[in-house]
Copies of this chain bind each other. A is one copy, B any other.
Amino acid sequence: MPKLSNKAAAMPASPIRKLVPFAEEAKRKGKKVYHLNIGQPDIETPKVVLDKMHNLDLKVVEYSHSAGFQSYREGLAAYYKGFGIDLNPSNEIMITTGGSEALIFAFQTCLDKGDELIIPEPFYANYNGFGVTANINVVPVTAKIEDGFALPPIADFEKLITPKTKGILICNPGNPTGYLYNEEELETLRDLVKKHDLFLFADEVYREFCYDGATHHSALNLKGIEENVILVDSVSKRYSMCGARVGALISKNAEFMAAALKFGQARLSPPTFGQIAGEAALDTPQSYFDSVIEEYVQRRDVLVDGLNKIEGVICPKPKGAFYAIAKLPIDDADKFCQWLLEDFEYNGETIMLAPATGFYATKGLGKQEVRLAYVLNQEALVKAVKCLEEALKVYPGKI
Using a CB–CB cutoff of 8 Å, the interface residues on chain A facing chain B are 1-2, 4-9, 11-14, 17, 40-45, 49-50, 53-56, 58-64, 66, 97-98, 100-101, 104, 108-113, 115, 126, 129-130, 133, 135, 166-167, 197-199, 227-228, 240-245, 253, 255-256, 259-260, 262-263, 265-274, 277
Q: Among the listed B50, B100, B256, which residue makes an inter-chain contact with A267, where contact means beta carbons less than 8 Å apart?
A: B100
Are A100 and B245 in contact, CB atoms less than 8 angstroms apart? no
Chain B's nearest CB lies how many Å from the CB of A321?
A: 16
Nearest-CB residue, chain B, relative to A245 = B271
Roughly how many angstroms separate A42 CA and B1 CA in the complex, as a whole number?
Answer: 42
Are B112 and A64 in contact, CB atoms less than 8 angstroms apart? no
Chain B residues closer than 8 Å to A130, beta-carbon distance: 266
Q: List 28 A-B contacts (CB under 8 A).
A: A1-B253, A1-B255, A2-B166, A4-B109, A4-B110, A5-B110, A8-B110, A11-B263, A13-B265, A14-B265, A45-B59, A50-B56, A53-B54, A53-B56, A61-B241, A97-B245, A100-B266, A104-B267, A108-B133, A126-B267, A133-B263, A133-B266, A243-B271, A243-B273, A244-B271, A245-B268, A245-B271, A271-B273
Nearest-CB residue, chain B, relative to A281 = B61
Roughly how many angstroms separate A362 CA and B271 CA in the complex, as a whole number?
Answer: 33
Chain B residues closer than 8 Å to A263, beta-carbon distance: 8, 11, 129, 133
Nearest-CB residue, chain B, relative to A129 = B266
Roughly how many angstroms separate A228 CA and B4 CA in the complex, as a whole number?
Answer: 11
Roughly how many angstroms separate A14 CA and B197 CA in the complex, as a whole number?
Answer: 30
Are A58 and B62 in contact, CB atoms less than 8 angstroms apart? no
Given the contacts A14-B266, A100-B266, A167 and B59 also touching, CB distance less than 8 Å: no
Are B241 and A271 in contact, CB atoms less than 8 angstroms apart? no
Roughly how many angstroms separate A255 CA and B1 CA in the complex, as a whole number?
Answer: 10
Nearest-CB residue, chain B, relative to A131 = B266
Are B199 and A2 in contact, CB atoms less than 8 angstroms apart? yes
Are A2 and B198 in contact, CB atoms less than 8 angstroms apart? yes
Given the contacts A5-B111, A98-B267, A245-B269, A277 and B45 also touching, CB distance less than 8 Å: no
Roughly how many angstroms separate A55 CA and B197 CA in the complex, as a whole number?
Answer: 51
Are B245 and A270 in contact, CB atoms less than 8 angstroms apart? yes
Chain B residues closer than 8 Å to A13, beta-carbon distance: 262, 265
Q: Among the listed B1, B45, B59, B255, which residue makes an inter-chain contact with A44, where contact means beta carbons less than 8 Å apart?
A: B59
Chain B's nearest CB lies how many Å from the CB of A10?
A: 10
Roughly how many angstroms separate A130 CA and B110 CA in the complex, as a whole number?
Answer: 17
Nearest-CB residue, chain B, relative to A196 = B2
Are B101 and A242 in contact, CB atoms less than 8 angstroms apart? no
Roughly how many angstroms separate A392 CA and B228 CA in the complex, as a whole number?
Answer: 49
Are B273 and A53 in contact, CB atoms less than 8 angstroms apart? yes
Chain B residues closer than 8 Å to A133, beta-carbon distance: 108, 263, 266
Are A61 and B42 in contact, CB atoms less than 8 angstroms apart? no
Chain B residues closer than 8 Å to A43, beta-carbon distance: 60
Nearest-CB residue, chain B, relative to A100 = B267
Are B271 and A62 in contact, CB atoms less than 8 angstroms apart? no
Are A272 and B255 in contact, CB atoms less than 8 angstroms apart? no
Chain B's nearest CB lies how many Å from the CB of A98?
A: 7
Are A45 and B17 in contact, CB atoms less than 8 angstroms apart? no
Given the contacts A11-B263, A98-B267, A108-B133, A44 and B17 also touching, CB distance less than 8 Å: no
Are B245 and A1 in contact, CB atoms less than 8 angstroms apart? no
Chain B residues closer than 8 Å to A104, beta-carbon distance: 267
Chain B's nearest CB lies how many Å from the CB of A95?
A: 12
Q: Among the listed B11, B56, B97, B267, which residue makes an inter-chain contact with A266, where contact means beta carbons less than 8 Å apart?
A: B11
